Structure 1
Amino acid sequence: MQLDVEWAMQQGEDAPLLHAVDVGFGAEPPKRIGIAVSGGGDSVALLHLFARWSAQCNHPIAAVTVDHGLRPESRAEAEGVAALCQKLGVSHDILTWERPEGAGNLPAAARDGRYALMADWAKAHDIGGIAVGHTIDDGAENFIMRLGRAAGIDGLAQMVPLFERYGLCWARPLWQFHRGALRDYLLRQDVSWAEDPSNDDPRYLRTKARRLLPQLKELGVDAQSIQQSASALRMAQSALQHYTVKEAETHVKEVAGDILIPQVIVPHIPSDIERRLLVAAVQWVGSNPYPPRKEFATTLEFTLSQQQRLTVAGCLVALRKGFFHITREYNAVKDLAGPTDAVWDTRWRLHGPHAPDLEVRALGEAVSELPDWRATGLPRPTLMASPAVWRGKTLVAAPLAKYNVDWTAQIVADFTSFLLSH
């Protein structure tokens, strides 16, 4: 806890909210904290609370607003946040999201784009974590929407107060408070906020869930009761995660960044644990922020009986010698390039004589130029998608193919660590 206890107790109705932001990142908050502010009531309250907290604790913060450009008013709202930040003495930046072509689910595309932009902003400004203004009402709406998608335990489990995305820590300090409480706070502080008209647009599923919640009160269903159920599901999910890790340690093989899972696990394990292993393997190998759809695992064996291999979420999945073999797909990384001293494809770090004119790219078809690649015992698709060092069009090193021993490649965080963090 960073706040002075005596000062906090003197803040009356504001004290619980200030305490929430004080402990939002746990016992050791990042040295510099980012605040995601859209201009709506929830995020403006979060910003104002953190500004007071920062002034008391002398802890540096910065704010960021993503302008999605989906409404004519969005830029003015972002500039309104900038004006408030100037008044509060908080550094602020506006980021602009460009809608990708063919984005089908617009809210989902905007959300993912927003997180990616803010993560890049944070890394560029030495910010170790970003706080977002999610409330207990958001959790209840998510629960209802996911019920409609026939979500299982993972989808219905309570949103976690701390999570990782795009290599950055995110916090939801206000997850136990209602929107009404945050707006009451802003009224007490004489701070205005913007109302997004899309929140009342019946075309969006979240709007429908928001309107449905009051009608469920007659059944005793409200945000609080939903949170309690979601909390129980979160504990069940934690138990399943524990046993998934245990089975991974016993049965799963990790070879050159690939995952091998026995087609028949002996002794038999529950089908849901087996499903979790397969889904997590594809998510890890494919460097994906989200797992593949649950139908993938339930139909996998039948699909592979009809065809030699399956392409899913940036991975190749095949049956080889009694194992489900999950490999990174070359086409998913063929255009991925970066400096040799940076993590590549979120999983690989190279060690060797780095130089500014070198870059890391996938080995690709150049594997054919290496006469001894078969001696590695690794499948050709594995080597094609593996990291290699290039100087322009010249291959300098291919660590997994044992070409140029001056270079090695290591996985940053192994599969078990991934399971524990997800």
Structure 2
Amino acid sequence: MAAETPTCLVVLETAKRFLSSFHRPARLLVAVSGGSDSKGLLLALNKAIEASGNSDLSLAACTVDHALRPGSADEADAVAGFCASLGIAHIVKRWDGQKPAAGIQAAAREKRYQLLAEAADNLGATCIVTGHTLDDQRETILMRSERGQGPGGAGMAADVLYDRRFWVLRPFLRLHRADVRAFLAAEGEGWFDDPSNANARFERVRTRVRLAETGEEHVSTWDAASRARSSEAAARWLGLHARVHENLVVSVSCAAARGCGDIDCRRGLLALAGVVGGRTHSLAADTVARLVAFLVRKEPGRLTAGRVVFDKRATGLYLYREARDLPTLALRPAETGVWDGRFTVRNGGNGMVQITATDAGGLQQQRLIAAGVPPGVAKRAALSAPHIVSTGDNCTAKAAVEPRICPYDTFLPGFDLIMAEMIAGLFGRQPYVRSPVHDLLTEMER
């Protein structure tokens, strides 16, 4: 075996330190594309486990074949052979079907995590591990900062909960890609270079070229611990000031709302608005500025932003979904779907059900009034309540409805966990799945 250099040692030591943070036993599913980052990650983790002699940690691997270019299936087969040589269970998940003409990278990312979660189920994995490096982090920070998300909210988390089921862990976020490649070279291993990584039509590729040419090192500054402290402060504010009524209306005092000039207060309020509006993405910076200006004024009024009505009255500020563009969802028996981004619905009956927005008989309005919501607010908010009816003869409409924490139920960054937990509690939801590691944020920030 080739002699290890200091660069190789830092890669291997990072893998060892990462493995030492796990609650055991654990089975890690490594996402392996055949590129240098993911292949180096798999090899380093395998060597670290072999060196430790631990039998309570094991690896599995998955290659997602997006089927977007010729040769992708052959590369997946080559990765399967590499995994077999290491004695690691491996599965290929292929993205079949028609691909979108626009937004292909975002769609591929969404499908990749969906297929990785399927593989984790298939292989009995505890979590998913990816090979993102500091190079990826720098690119992400620059791209998100230029979209107006700001340096304070722009970095990737070392741990992300996907679909409320699997934690996705990124142990190499503080390593350069060059270090990982040096490690592979020292081990006598090559890798595949995806041609799309040189295609300038993609934003990330253009950003990568720009960073290489300008060396804008300042964009690599990312304080995840500071973001976690902000999340904790936002959670405290939510616990003190926010109330949720019938999973349809959020209320806070006007005095508390006027404090939204504070970034932590503002983050908490905007996260709640994301739940009420069923929106995953943040409001645009100019919309946030307009909203803050409205909230800090003492005069009552209404403002709509991100599908949410901010209704300011003498008794408080009330947030509810505007009664516009509300969808209809049909579900077969035992089928589960998401309605309006706000509710997860499972059909537990014996026939088709349909979910629409209506307040049949004014029952929801009366419940809101009984909960202390002003009648005018209750009347408007009730118009966006989900109503479930059976669409077949002799069928029973029986459905389980659960509020969806839209900003976090698909991707929940670990540094926002405490705020997401507070919001889930306000909406009567169970806590999120616990991480399989002791404290990855602390470990990765060392």
**Aligned mates of 2:396, 2:305 — CA distance in 1:** 27
**Given the alignment of the two structures, is residue 41 of structure 1 paired with residue 36 of structure 2, yes or no?**
yes
Give the 5 Å matches for 1:106-121: 106-121=104-119
**Aligned match of 1:7:** none
Task: Write the deviation string for residues 7-28 of structure 1: whole angstroms up to 9, x where unpaired.
Answer: xxx9976443233233436332
Partner of residue 199, structure 1: 197
* 1:376 and 2:367 are equivalent in the alignment: yes
Give the structure, 1 or 2, with the largest relative contact order (CA under 8 Å, sep 6 or more). Answer: 2
User: In the superposition, relative to structure 1, how do residues 30 and 43 fare at CA in structure 2: closer, same or farther (>3 Å)?
Assistant: farther
Deviations 1:92-142 (A, max 9, x none): 222222576656322222212212221233234432210000111111122
Partner of 2:441: none
In 2, Cα distance between equivalents of 1:43 and 1:183: 10
Q: Establish whether residue 319 from structure 1 lines up as the match of residue 307 from structure 2.
A: no
**SS state at 1:113 partner:** helix
Trace 1:102-251 onto structure 2 (pairs within 5 A). Answer: 104-156=102-154, 158-167=155-164, 168-217=166-215, 221-222=216-217, 226-227=219-220, 229-231=221-223, 234-251=224-241
Which contiguous aligned blocks of 4+ residues in structure 1 show a shift greater than 6 angstroms?
301-305, 342-351, 409-413, 418-421
Instruction: Give the direction of change, closer, same or farther, for the CA distance of 1:22–1:100 in structure 2 (3 Å limit).
Output: farther
Residue matched to 1:282: 273
Amino acid at match of 1:278: L
The answer to whether the Cα contact below 8 Å between 1:387 and 1:398 also exists between their aligned partners in 2 is: no
Identify if the C-alpha distance between structure 1 residues 57 and 410 changes in structure 2 by more than 3 Å, giving closer, same or farther: same
Q: How does 1:18-33 map to 2 (within 5 A)?
A: 18-24=12-18, 26-28=21-23, 31-33=26-28
Q: Is the 8 A contact 2:246 2:368 kept in 1?
A: no
Cα deviation, residue 311, structure 1: 7.7
Structure-2 residue corresponding to 1:62: 60
Distance 2:342 2:24 in 1: 26
The answer on whether the counterparts of 1:20 and 1:173 sit within 8 Å (CA) in structure 2 is yes
What letter is aligned with 1:40?
G
Checking the alignment, whether the CA contact within 8 Å between 1:365 and 1:384 is kept in structure 2 is: yes
Q: State the TM-score, normalized to the length of structure 2.
A: 0.71
Asked if structure 2 preserves the Cα contact closer than 8 Å seen for 1:358 and 1:389, the reply is: no
Matched, 1:416 2:423: yes
| 3-state SS in 1 of match to 2:319 | strand
One-letter amino acid of the structure 2 residue matched with residue 297 of structure 1:
V
Q: CA RMSD in A?
A: 4.3
Contact 2:61 2:91 in 1 (8 A): yes
Does the Cα contact within 8 Å between 1:37 and 1:63 map onto a contact in 2? Answer: yes
Change (3 A) 1:286 1:43: farther
Deviation at 1:161, TM superposition (A): 1.6
State the one-letter code of the partner of 1:238: A
CA contact (8 A) 1:258 1:285 kept: yes
> For residues 293 and 363 of structure 1, what CA distance do their matches in structure 2 show?
30
Report how far residue 206 of structure 1 moved: 1.9
Greater Cα offset, 134-143 or 322-331: 322-331
Using the aligned pairs only, state the percent identity. 23
Shift in CA distance, 49/388, structure 1 to aligned 2, threshold 3 Å? farther
Match of 2:94 in 1: 96
Counterpart contact for 1:254–1:415, Cα < 8 Å: no
Please give the TM-score of this superposition, normalised by the length of structure 1.
Answer: 0.74
Residues of 2 paired with 1:392 and 1:79: CA distance?
A: 48
Unaligned runs of 5+ in 1: 1-9, 401-408
State the AA in 2 paired with 1:48. Answer: L
State how far apart, in whole Å, the 1-side matches of 2:425 and 2:5 are.
41
